Structure 1
Amino acid sequence: MYKTLLLLMTLLFLSSLSYAQYSEENVYEKPTLKIGGALRFNYNLSTWKEDQLERGGDFGFDVLRINVESEYKGIKLNAEYRHYSEGFGGGFLKQGWFQHDFSDISQIQVGLNQVPFGIQQYNSNNWFFNMTYYIGFEDDHDMGVKYIHDNGRWQWQAAYYKSAEDLVFGSSEASPNRYSYDVTGRNKENNQLDFKIINRLGDSLQHEIGASLQGGLLYNLDTERNGTRHAGAVHYEYKSVNSPWNVKLQAMLYRINPKYASDNDLNFVEMGAYGANYNVANKGEVYTASLAYHLPIDTRLLQGITFYDNYGYYNKRVSGFENSHMNVLGALFSAGSMYIYTDAAFGYNQPWLGPEWTNAFTAGTPGDTDWHLRFNINMGYYF
C-alpha cells in the first residue's frame, strides 16, 4: 500500500511538472493580435474651381482604414487595408507583409512593404506629402523582400521587388487603384533592387545622414521588351526627443528609359494612384526641404500643435517641359485620438494643386502657369 501511494504521488508530481512546462510553453507561444485603424473626413477649397468657390468648399468622406498586427511562433504580420470613395480608387491594400526578426537589430519582411529610399517614413510633415510622393519616391510600397539591419548608430536596408502594387496579373495594364505612385499604362515595373544606408550622429543620435540607390526594369506591353530605370538620393534629417524642431533635406535624381515602339518614342511615362493616371517626365531631379516645430499644450482637449512648412522643387530634364513647385504651410493639431491637419497647399504645375492634371508633370502649361492654392482640413480619429 505504501509503495502504491508513493508511486501515485510520484506520478502526480511528474504530471504537474509536465503540465507546468506545457502551460509555460503555451503562454510563450500564445498568438498576439492587435487591430486598429482610422476614420478620416476632409474639407477642401481650391482656388481654380469656380463652382467650389461658390459653394464655399466641399466636406466629405476621406478614408476608412483597418490595421492588423499579429505574431505567432516568431512570425509577424503587418497589414493595412484602406477604403476610399470610388473616385479615389475604392478599396485596396496599402501595405502587408510577413516578418521574422533574426535579432533585436535585424529583420526580414516579405510582401507589400515600404521601399527603402530617401527619408522614411515620410519626407514631409503635412497631409499632402512632398513632391517626391507624386512621382513614386516617398512612402512607396512594392511587392518583394526587404532586409533591415539597425544597431542604432548605423542602419542599412537591402531589398528586391518583383513588381509594384499590381492588382491585375498577366499582360493587362496595371491598375491605378493603389496607395503609392508607380509606373502604369503600357509599362510595368519589375525586378527592382534598392539599397539604403544611414548614419546617426550626435550624443542622442539626432542627426541622420543617408544615401539611397535604386535600379530596376520596365516591361513594355507593346514591344515586349524591358527598359531600365534608376534613381539615387542623399538626405539629412534632424530629429530629437529633446527638441521641438524637425528638419528634413533631400536631393534626388531619377532616369527612366522605357522601350517604346520606334514610332512612339515618348519622353514620359504614365504613373498612377488613387484611381487615376497622369504623365511624368522620363528624367528629373527633385529637391525638398521641410521644417517643423512642435508646441506641446497641456489641456484636456488639445495636447499639441506642430507647425510646418514643406517645399518641393521638381527640375525636369526634358527640353520644353516646365518645372514644378509645391509648398505646404500648415499645422497639425493633436487632440487625444484625433489628428487634424490644416494645410495651405500651393502648387505650380502640380496635378493635385492646379487645373492641369494629365501633363502638369511634363510640359505643364508653358507661358500660362500660375500658382494655385488648395486649403485643406483633414480630420481623423485613430484607434
Structure 2
Amino acid sequence: MPHRGLLAVALAGTSLAAFAATGVVHAQTRQTTVDADDAKASQPKKTRKRVQAGKAVVAEPAQTPAAQPAKRPLISNDGKLTLGGAIRARFDTRFNSGPSFQSSHFSFDTLAFKLKYDSSTVFGAAQWRFYGGSFIYGKKNGYDKYPGEVQFPMWAYAGYKITGQDSVVAGINQAPFGLTPYYGTSFIESLGFAQGLEEVYNLGVKYSHADDRWTWDLGFYPTAAPDAIGISRDSARYSANMVKADSYVPNGSDNHERNMVVGRVEHTFFKNDVASFTGGLSAWWSQVHNLDNGRDGHKNLEAVHFSATWNNWGFKGIYVRQDIKAKNPGRDDMITIGGYDASYNLATRGNFFSGEVNYKLQQPVGGFDLMPYLNYSAFVKDKDAFKTSERYILGVAWTWKKDPRLVIYSEGILGRNDPYVGAGQFTGGLAQGGDDKWKKAVIVNVGFYF
C-alpha cells in the first residue's frame, strides 16, 4: 500500500518510530531544553519575591510620593539578535515492520536554522526545518532522496511585551492548549502530537499573562500553518493539522480548520524547594471547513492538566475530550489529518489521556546528566468498532556536561494501533485502528544544538 514516510525522532533529540503502511518509520521532531519554543523564553518573567522572616516581601525601589515612574519606550534599543540551529542523526531498530521482522538504520534526521530577537519590549523568532535524504524519505515512497526535499517552518512570529507580566504575539506560534510546550519529556512525544493536540503551531494572534500564581493565554488563529515543500498534497508541515488527504488514505477527506479560538488558564497551588503542584484548564473551538462541498462543521476540545515535582521526581498528566463534527460528504466518524509530508485518518470523537513520571539523576554518568522517564498515552474512541490507540515510551535524555549543546535521546517504544509504530498501522491507526497487536521500536537520536 503506498504512503509517504514521515519523520521519526528518538532521544538526543529522540525520534519516535512510526511505521507507515509500507513499514517505514515516522516520527515527530520534538524540541529539547536547548532548542525550546522561544515564544515561551521571550514572555515576560513572573514577578520575583524575596522571603523575609517567613513572609513574602516584594522588593521595590524607594520612591517619594512625588516621584513618577519613568516612561517605557515603545521600542527599546537593548535588543539582541542571535542565530542558531540544530543538526541531528538517528539510529532505528524496528520490529514488526512487515516481511522483515526486524530492520536497523542509521541516517540523517534533521537540519534546522533559527533566528531570534529579544529586547525589553519587542521580541520574535523563526525556525525552518529541513528533512529528506534518509531511509524514511526513501525512493520506495516516491522521494528522490536528497536533504531538503521536505522542509517547512516550525514557528515564525513577532511579539510585544506590554508590561512585565503581559505580552502579545502574532505569526506562527504555539496554540495555548494543555501542558505547554510538551505533554512529557519524550522526544517522539505522546500520541497527542500525532493526534494534533500536543505542540500545535498555527497562524494567528495570542495574548499571554504570567505572574507568581496565574498564567493565562487567549489565542485566535484564522488558519493553520501553511503547507510548505514536499511531495504530499497538503501535509508538508510540522504540526498535525486537518488536510487534503493523499490518494493512499482510505476514506480520506479534504478539510481545513479555520477561526480557532484557544484559551488556557493555569494556577500554581504551591512551589518550594521540595515540591510543587500546578493545575490548569484549556478549551479549543474552531470551524471545520470541507473543501469539497464548502460546508462548515466544528471542533471542540476541553482539557484538564497538572504538573508536579517532588525532589528530583517529576509528574505530568492531561485528559482531553475531543468532539469533531465535520459536514463532509462521506462518513463523519473519521477525518484526515497530516504532518511531516504524510496524511492519515483520525477518529472524530473520543477521549485522550497522557501521563508521565521522570527522575533527574543527581550525579552524572559517563560525563552525561541523565533523566529517565516513562510516558503512557492513549486515545479511546467513542465508536465501539474503533480500537483504542496506545503508546508506551521508556527513555533516557542524555545531556553532555562539558557541552550541553550535545543532547541524546534513547527510547524504547511499544505501540498498539499507533500510526507510527509497526507496519500497517499508519493510515488507520488513530481511526478504526490497525491489527490491534503490540509493535516495538528502539530509536536513538543524537543532536547538536548551536
Scaled by the length of structure 2, what TM-score is found?
Answer: 0.73
8 Å CA contact 2:266–2:281 kept in 1: the answer is yes
Q: Secondary structure of the equivalent of 1:295?
A: coil
269, 274, 280: which one aligns with 2:335:
269
Question: Deviation at 1:80?
Answer: 1.1
Question: Deviation at 1:48?
Answer: 1.4
Alignment match, 1:322: 387
Larger Rg belongs to: 1
Alignment match, 2:319: 251
Alignment match, 1:362: 431
121, 124, 148: which one aligns with 1:77:
124
Question: Deviation at 1:30?
Answer: 5.3
Distance 1:69 1:349, change over 3 A: same
1:107 lines up with 2:167 in the alignment = yes
Q: Secondary structure of the equivalent of 2:360?
A: strand
- For the aligned residue pairs, the C-alpha RMSD in angstroms reads 2.2
8 Å CA contact 1:45–1:52 kept in 2: the answer is no
201, 205, 212: which one aligns with 2:282:
212
8 Å CA contact 2:227–2:235 kept in 1: the answer is no
Question: Deviation at 1:124?
Answer: 1.4
Question: Deviation at 1:376?
Answer: 0.4
8 Å CA contact 1:75–1:100 kept in 2: the answer is yes
Alignment match, 2:374: 309
8 Å CA contact 2:174–2:202 kept in 1: the answer is yes
Cα distance in structure 2, aligned partners of 1:72 and 1:122: 26
Cα distance in structure 2, aligned partners of 1:284 and 1:38: 36
Cα distance in structure 2, aligned partners of 1:251 and 1:296: 31
1:32 counterpart letter in structure 2: K
Alignment match, 1:134: 194
1:362 counterpart letter in structure 2: A
Scaled by the length of structure 1, what TM-score is found?
Answer: 0.85
Structure number with higher helix proportion: 1
Distance 1:296 1:52, change over 3 A: farther
Question: Deviation at 1:223?
Answer: 1.0
8 Å CA contact 1:43–1:376 kept in 2: the answer is yes
81, 88, 92: which one aligns with 1:44:
92
Pairs within 5 Å for 1:137-286 = 137-167=197-227, 175-185=234-244, 186-204=254-272, 206-239=276-309, 243-261=311-329, 264-286=330-352
Q: Secondary structure of the equivalent of 1:237?
A: strand
Question: Deviation at 1:167?
Answer: 2.8
8 Å CA contact 1:45–1:53 kept in 2: the answer is no
Question: Deviation at 1:174?
Answer: 6.7
Post-superposition CA distance 1:238-274 (Å, at most 9, x none): 147xx2111001111111111112xx23310001000
Alignment match, 2:407: 339
Percent identity between matched residues is 24
8 Å CA contact 1:324–1:349 kept in 2: the answer is yes
279, 290, 296: which one aligns with 2:362:
296
8 Å CA contact 2:285–2:301 kept in 1: the answer is yes
Question: Deviation at 1:132?
Answer: 1.0
8 Å CA contact 2:257–2:289 kept in 1: the answer is yes
Alignment match, 1:11: none
Question: Deviation at 1:149?
Answer: 0.3
1:116 counterpart letter in structure 2: P
Distance 1:239 1:96, change over 3 A: farther
Q: Relative to structure 2, which stretch is displaced further, 60-69 or 199-208?
A: 199-208
Higher relative contact order (CA 8 A, sep 6+): 2
Matched pairs, number: 346
Pairs within 5 Å for 1:92-103 = 92-103=152-163
